[in-house]
C-alpha cells in the first residue's frame, strides 16, 4: 500500500471516527431535548454519510466542513423525528383559562397596562413584525451606531452569557428570556412545548399549572450555556446549526418602564435575597446607613427601604459594574440576548403582548396545543415614567438614557424627550 493510499485511508477512518463520536455524544450525553433523538433513528440511516462537502480530502477545511455537515444532517433527522412525535401528541385547542396569572405578590405588584396606543392602532401584525426586525437589522448594520459588544461575533460571546437562550428541540424553537418582560409565562410555555417538566408523572399541558418556583429553576430548561458540558468542542457548531434552523424569538419592553418594574418587584416587596445582595450595599453607600437590620422584614419594619433614587444611583455608579455585571433584572436586553449576533425571527413587545403572543404561537404552529396565559393590567406606562422619574435629577436621567440607549434604539422605542429636558 503506497503512502498516498495510506493517507487517504487514514483520513477516511478519522472522519468516520469523528462522526461516530458525534453520534455517541448526541445519543448518550443529552438527557434533555436532543436526548429524544433515538438511537435506532440515527444509526439506521446510512444515507447520512453518503455525501461529503465538495472540499477535497487534501484541503485544510475538509474535516471541519465534514463534521459541520454531519451535525446539520443529524439535526435535520432529529427535527423530523420530533415533528412526527409532536403530531401524535397534539390535542384539540384547550379552553381559555379563567385563572389569573397572579400566583404571588410579585406578579400582582408588577402590573402595567400592556395595551398601549401602539396596540390600539392594531396595524397589520406581519407588517409590524417586519418593521421591528428591519429596524433591528438596520442599526446592527449601521457603523455609526456603536455600543459595547456590538462588533463581536457569536463565537466571541462567553459561554456564561448564553444562559438566557432556552431551546425546545421538539418544535425547533429558541427563546431568549428577558426578566420583567412576561418571561415567567413564556418560560411556562417553553416547558409545555419541550415537555421538560412533569406533574404527577405527566408532562404539563397548561402553562398556569406549572408552579412559579419550578419555572425559574435553571435545571428545568435546556439553555445554550449547558451545551459545552454536553457536546464539548462541538457545542458551538451545534448552536450555530440550531440558530440557523430553529425559530428564534424574544420579547422586549420600554427600557425605563422595565427598570421601574424591576425596582418594584425586588425592592418594594420583602425579598430576602435582593435585600442581602443589593439593598444593604445601596443603603450603606447612598443613604449613609452604617448599621442595618439583618433581615428584610426587620428593615421594612424599621422603615428602611431602598429608594428609587438609590437604585438609579446604583445603576449609574461605575463601581457597580466593576464588582459584577448587572443583575439580569436590570441588565440591558442587548447584553442578555445579543440581537446583533443572533438573527431573531420574531421580536415581541410587552406593549402589544396579547396580539404578539397570538401571532407567535400561530407562527410556531402550536396555537392548537396551548394558549398564552391572560395578562394582568394595572395602570399606564406614561403615568409610571413621569411619576417615578419626577424626583430623579435631570443629569441622572440623561446618564441613564445613555446607559440604556442601545435598547431604546435597537427595539424602536422613542427617546423619552419629556424626561431628558427641563
pLDDT digits (tens, 9 = 90+) for 239-286: 999 999 999 999 999 999 999 999 999 999 999 999 999 999 999 999
Give the integer Cα–Cα distance in Å for 82 and 33.
10
Radius of gyration of the chain measured on its C-alpha atoms: 24
The residues with which 349 forms a beta bridge, in sequence order, are 252
Identify which of 193, 156, 152 has the alpha carbon closest to the alpha carbon of residue 173: 193
Mean of the pLDDT values across residues 349-353? 94
Query: What are the angstrom distances between the C-alpha of 365 and each of 83, 361, 375?
Result: 11, 6, 21
Beta carbons of 125 and 359 less than 8 angstroms apart:
yes
Give the integer Cα–Cα distance in Å for 228 and 25.
11
Cell of 280: 444593604
Q: Phi and psi dihedrals of 281, rounded to 5?
A: -60, -40
Cell of 330: 436590570
pLDDT digits (tens, 9 = 90+) for 159-182: 999 999 999 999 999 999 999 999
Size of the chain, expressed as the number of residues it contains: 422
Helix axes 62-89, 235-245, angle to 10 degrees: 50
Task: Break the chain into its structural domains and give their ranges.
Answer: 3-89, 105-257+327-419
pLDDT band at 114 (very low <50, low <70, confident <90, very high): very low
pLDDT digits (tens, 9 = 90+) for 127-167: 999 999 999 999 999 999 999 999 999 999 999 999 999 99
The residues with which 173 forms a beta bridge, in sequence order, are 168, 247
Query: What are the angstrom distances between the C-alpha of 146 and each of 138, 285, 402, 405, 407?
Result: 12, 32, 12, 10, 12
Amino acid at each position: 500500500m503506497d503512502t498516498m493510499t495510506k493517507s487517504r485511508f487514514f483520513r477516511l477512518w478519522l472522519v468516520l471516527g469523528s462522526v461516530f463520536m458525534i453520534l455517541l455524544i448526541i445519543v448518550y450525553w443529552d438527557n434533555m431535548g436532543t436526548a429524544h433523538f433515538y438511537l435506532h433513528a440515527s444509526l439506521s440511516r446510512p444515507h447520512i454519510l453518503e455525501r461529503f462537502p465538495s472540499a477535497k480530502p487534501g484541503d485544510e477545511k475538509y474535516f471541519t466542513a465534514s463534521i459541520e455537515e454531519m451535525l446539520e444532517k443529524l439535526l435535520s433527522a432529529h427535527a423530523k423525528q420530533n415533528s412526527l412525535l409532536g403530531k401524535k401528541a397534539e390535542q384539540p385547542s384547550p379552553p381559555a383559562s379563567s385563572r389569573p396569572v397572579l400566583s404571588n405578590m410579585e406578579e400582582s405588584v408588577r402590573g402595567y397596562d400592556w395595551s398601549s396606543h401602539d396596540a390600539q392602532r392594531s396595524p397589520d401584525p406581519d407588517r409590524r413584525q417586519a418593521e421591528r426586525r428591519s429596524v433591528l437589522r438596520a442599526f446592527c448594520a449601521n457603523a455609526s451606531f456603536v455600543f459595547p459588544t456590538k462588533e463581536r461575533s457569536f463565537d466571541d460571546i462567553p459561554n456564561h452569557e448564553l444562559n438566557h437562550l432556552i431551546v425546545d428541540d421538539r418544535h425547533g424553537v429558541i427563546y431568549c428570556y428577558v426578566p420583567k418582560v412576561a418571561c415567567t409565562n413564556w418560560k411556562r410555555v417553553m416547558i409545555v412545548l419541550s415537555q421538560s417538566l412533569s406533574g404527577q408523572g405527566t408532562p404539563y399541558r397548561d402553562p398556569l399549572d406549572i408552579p412559579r418556583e419550578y419555572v425559574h429553576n435553571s435545571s428545568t430548561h435546556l439553555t445554550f450555556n449547558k451545551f459545552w458540558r454536553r457536546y464539548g468542542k462541538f457545542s458551538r457548531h451545534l448552536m450555530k446549526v440550531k440558530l440557523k434552523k430553529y425559530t428564534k424569538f424574544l420579547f422586549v419592553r420600554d427600557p425605563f418602564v422595565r427598570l421601574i418594574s424591576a425596582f418594584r418587584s425586588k425592592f418594594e416587596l420583602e425579598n430576602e435575597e435582593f435585600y442581602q445582595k443589593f439593598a444593604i450595599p445601596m443603603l450603606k453607600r447612598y443613604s449613609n446607613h452604617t448599621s442595618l437590620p439583618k433581615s428584610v422584614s426587620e428593615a421594612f419594619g424599621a422603615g428602611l427601604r431602598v429608594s428609587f433614587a438609590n437604585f438609579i444611583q446604583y445603576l449609574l455608579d461605575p463601581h457597580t459594574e466593576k464588582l459584577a455585571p448587572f443583575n439580569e433584572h436590570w441588565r440591558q436586553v442587548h447584553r442578555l440576548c445579543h440581537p446583533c449576533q443572533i438573527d431573531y425571527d420574531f421580536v415581541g413587545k410587552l406593549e402589544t403582548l396579547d396580539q404578539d403572543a397570538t401571532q407567535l404561537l400561530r407562527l410556531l404552529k402550536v396555537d392548537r396545543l396551548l394558549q398564552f396565559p391572560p395578562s394582568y393590567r394595572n395602570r399606564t406606562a406614561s403615568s409610571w415614567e413621569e411619576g417615578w422619574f419626577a424626583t430623579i435629577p435631570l443629569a441622572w436621567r440623561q446618564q441613564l438614557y445613555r446607559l440604556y440607549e442601545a435598547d431604546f434604539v435597537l427595539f424602536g422605542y422613542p427617546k423619552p424627550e419629556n424626561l431628558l429636558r427641563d
